[in-house]
Structure 1
């Protein structure tokens, strides 16, 4: 019997591979972000107002906050004919600032971003546009949280994300994701990885400054307490995990703040972020203080169940793809899929 053909790579998978191929670090975007930050006055607390003024003065673009009934399915929409950036009133302050800086980054460095996109040679137009958006998002984050200043704040506050958010007026997610990009030679931060999931376990983000200890596809291991974060909304929970190769990682997980949403839109799908680093870096984090990092209580985890070869796992939800099951009707073990 012939082996099944390999499934075609999706646009999101292609973009993730490109970003991970750069270890989520684009030095040229960090440099442009720092330049734009300085151009706007170098004060994070007046950045939004300065960006609005520059969009108006240099590019003739006005910002309009619009009712949800008008924006409907859109959070941000640029009208090139009226030179108007429309932003939904449902966006919180940090998301609104990001939308405005995104438009300015596109106006200032659109040609450079296009050149970077073309150089990557995406397989189709949709994938190329998705990659361009990812680069623009990275440039926007680099402007809101300029590399040198952000790293200094992170190191000074022992990577306390709440204290790190305050001087830049960003969300927990924005600060956490920026932490995965601090790989400038001679000025590196802790090499974090990040995963975002919803309450059903679907993964919508994967980023890493170095090695990512989880499967490239599928969900997260059920033994990782990122799933328990939904039981304690808004609270950071920590865990030391050990992957099948014996590597240990310190992780922290937290749900994300809810955005405004109309009742008629139905139930809100909560999301959580898991952020982690190799255990050897944990001593730099405020979240690890008071823990025995020399002999931690490490929880054994793995990739998604179909790829995991750990035997006798109580949380196993599916048999491993490359192992033959050993089924005996006379025996019941801790897993329904013994091998």
Structure 2
């Protein structure tokens, strides 16, 4: 496959403007013509390797950081929005969409938000909700969706909280010490908070009583969950000012979204405290991203480890760009993030050919898949089924699958690639993002037709699906 061309015009323009240089002066500094620089800044020509090296040498920038395709998630969201039938008379090509996301990302986000509001309105109409029109919030994204998109578009990395958590972890001896002992001792000594068990018949994981300064934790929760909840409480007591500032800068539409974001930011701090950045990144490289070994080394759960891997996006010290998702048995994606080119659908269920669904058939096992998306990009996919419960025989059990992976170019850094025939294209399963926007015409697992394709109905002929896609 030919290497992907790199269009980073907006980044180059911002770098030039930050150095207060004209195009002529900047072009001379990196050894190219003014006309070539103008074409680069307007994404009319890709950046060559020699130009990247010149930028790194002259301006001390991280090549990996400036060349990272940070518009991939925005491009995916915009493509999905424009696949809606309301845009049936407008079919932009990929180059047009790239120009918008690279040169006018604010406009792209505004269009995505408008489409999201339209969908909510349409869903209310379709369900004959008789309260439609009584309040404006019905045509806006839900608070949960707002917060989900906030984390998605900041690359799931919150620098101020990550650095603060790592500094605290070093101060209390993590990850070298036993996490539960270190966290319990710190919260008691620093904040005068005592850890206690909740009642045996109380259906809570964590409850803090600010008057008595007691943090009640469920005795049925795994050790990794209890440690995480102590770290969460430390976040609430120690970095609440930073959390509030970050959430308020996001300018959410509602107070609900603001509070949900604060909770998400405290969760982020807790994950960064129990799995401190540099130690965890080094261990991930050493253990080749073996989830079970990482979980054992840090006293964490497989889900905590998997989610943390998706946040390793610190400038100048990035981990392998991976995608991560959590999915329920109905195919709903309840957590999603991708630092890789693969992006998840914002609406609808995940591709049925993705191995995340298969994880429910093989509980307790990590399964592997080589997959290729319609754009020709190939991935190593890993999935496993997890069960959460506790509290005895009659307690409800929550089952879900987590999935993560990377582009094949990074597969050697994963133990799960061992023994797979990475060079054999026939070994890769054809997957998509979701049926409603997938362009494949011959998928035997297609659930619904693609939104913007014309269907051909042949009454005297029937294939795996009852229509053909023109």
**CA RMSD of the aligned region, Å?**
1.9
Who is 1:270 aligned against? 399
Gaps of 5+ in 1: none
Does the residue aligned with 2:384 lie in a helix, a strand or coil?
strand
Aligned to 1:197: 327
| Structure 2 residue 418 is the aligned partner of structure 1 residue 286 | no
Q: 1:289, 1:53 → 2: CA distance?
A: 41
**Counterpart contact for 1:253–1:272, Cα < 8 Å:** yes
Give CA deviations for 1:151-176 in whole Å, capped at 9, x if unaligned: 11111111111111122100000001
Per-residue deviation, 1:43: 4.2
Aligned to 1:40: 172
Structure 2 match to 1:116? 246
Partner of 2:142: 10
Matches within 5 A, 1:289-304: 289-296=418-425, 297-304=427-434
Moved over 6 A (4+): none
* 1:109 CA displacement: 0.9
Q: Which position in structure 1 is the counterpart of 2:110?
A: none
Aligned with residue 182 of structure 2, among 42, 50, 53? 50
Give yes or no for the alignment of 1:25 onto 2:157: yes
Deviations 1:263-297 (A, max 9, x none): 4455x341111101111100111110222222241
Is the 1:145–1:168 Cα contact (8 Å) retained in structure 2?
Answer: yes
Change (3 A) 1:160 1:265: closer
TM-score w.r.t. the length of structure 1 is 0.93
- The structural deviation recorded for 1:44 is 4.3
Pick the structure with greater CA Rg: 2
Partner residue of 2:193? 61
Aligned-residue offset at 1:92? 0.9
Partner SS state of residue 335, structure 2: strand
Question: How far apart, in 2, do the equivalents of 1:85 and 1:41 lie?
Answer: 22
1:1-339 aligned at under 5 Å gives the runs 5-7=118-120, 8-69=140-201, 71-72=202-203, 74-266=204-396, 268-296=397-425, 297-339=427-469
CA–CA separation in structure 2 for the residues paired with 1:336 and 1:64? 60
Using the alignment, how far apart are the partners of 2:150 and 2:467 within structure 1? 36
**Hey, what's the Cα distance between the residues in 1 that align with 2:173 and 2:291?**
24
- Other structure's SS at 2:239 match: helix
CA distance in 2, matches of 1:56, 1:159: 34
**Structure 1 stretch displaced more, 207-216 or 17-26:** 207-216
Structure 1 CA distance for aligned equivalents of residues 304 and 383 of structure 2: 14
Q: Distance in 2 between matches of 1:261 and 1:338?
A: 51
Q: What is the CA deviation profile of residues 113-146 of structure 1, one whole-angstrom value per residue up to 9, with x for unaligned ones?
A: 1111111111111111111111111111111111
The whole-number CA distance in structure 1 between the counterparts of 2:327 and 2:459 is: 37
Contact 1:213 1:243 in 2 (8 A): no
- Distance in 2 (alpha carbons) for counterparts of 1:34 and 1:125: 30
Q: By percentage of residues, which structure has more helix?
A: 2
CA distance, structure 2, for counterparts of residue 208 and residue 305 of structure 1 = 19
CA contact (8 A) 1:45 1:168 kept: no
What is the CA–CA distance in structure 1 between the aligned matches of 2:181 and 2:398, rounded to whole Å? 32
Which is further off, 203-212 or 84-93? 203-212
TM-score by length of 2: 0.68
**Following the alignment from structure 1 to structure 2, what is the Cα–Cα distance between the partners of residues 100 and 180?**
22
The offset of 1:330, in angstroms, is 0.9
- Cα deviation, residue 21, structure 1: 1.2
In structure 2, runs of 5+ residues without a counterpart are 1-84, 87-114, 121-139
CA deviation digits over 1:178-216, x for unaligned, max 9? 111111223221111111111221211101224343312
Which stretch shifts more, 74-83 or 247-256?
A: 74-83
